[in-house]
Amino acid sequence: MMKHIAVGVMCLASALAQAVQPAPTRAEQAGVASAVARYVNAIACPGVRITPADVMLLSSGDAGVALPRYAVLWNGDLACFGGAQADKTYLAIATLNTGQYVVQPELSSPVVAFESPVRLVSRIVSYTGRILVLEGQEYGPGDPDNAPSVPVRFMLRVDGKGNWMLVDKVFLAQPAS
């Protein structure tokens, strides 16, 4: 167990050390947040809020060759079932296309897999090439359905089909016994 945690910490530390995130401008954040909010509220139960602070710049594009790309985590209920277990985290990827911010559904969940060891992801820590480092809470012994309490950090990598697959997970605190 300790060996697995040590290896996981080393992988996460390596990914974080390589992470250099450019910061999106306020205008970019507002435009992306608006586009993602429209998209999310079209595919999930209405009322999902997306704020400019939720936007992370993944890549700024290459001198007109590539478009900028942004990631936004959002929590919602796709089937509108309601209840404590209905909401889960999804990932939207957006870009700037012909002067407008748009979501790329073919790169976003639920179209592509977003394999998360937690139901609700709290934040994106960093992005390095094809790896996202995220944080959330996992259920510990005795946790109620709506309140996981064990903080974890985990890495997802894009596979050849564009799916975000789990690479590693590290507990930030040990679960209570």
177 in any annotated domain: no
Q: What pLDDT was estimated at residue 145?
A: 77
99 in any annotated domain: yes
176 in any annotated domain: no
Q: What pLDDT was estimated at residue 82?
A: 74
| Segments in 1-142 forming alpha helices (H) | 2-18, 26-43
Q: What pLDDT was estimated at residue 11?
A: 46
Q: What pLDDT was estimated at residue 123?
A: 92
Q: What pLDDT was estimated at residue 176?
A: 66
Q: What pLDDT was estimated at residue 51?
A: 93
Domain that holds residue 120: 2-171
Q: How many domains does the chain have?
A: 1
158 in any annotated domain: yes
Residues of the chain with pLDDT under 70: 1-22, 62-65, 83-85, 175-177
Q: What pLDDT was estimated at residue 15?
A: 43
How many angstroms separate the Cα of 130 from the Cα of each of 11, 59, 126, 157, 159? 14, 11, 11, 6, 9
97 in any annotated domain: yes
Half-sphere exposure of 15 (CA within 13 A, CB side): 25
pTM: 0.80
Say if residue 110 is preceded by a cis peptide, omega within 30 of 0. yes
Q: What pLDDT was estimated at residue 17?
A: 39
Task: Name which of 58, 53, 87, 83 is nearest 70 in CA terms.
Answer: 58
Q: What pLDDT was estimated at residue 177?
A: 63
Question: Do β-strands 121-128 and 100-103 pair in parallel, antiparallel, or remain unpaired?
Answer: unpaired
49 in any annotated domain: yes
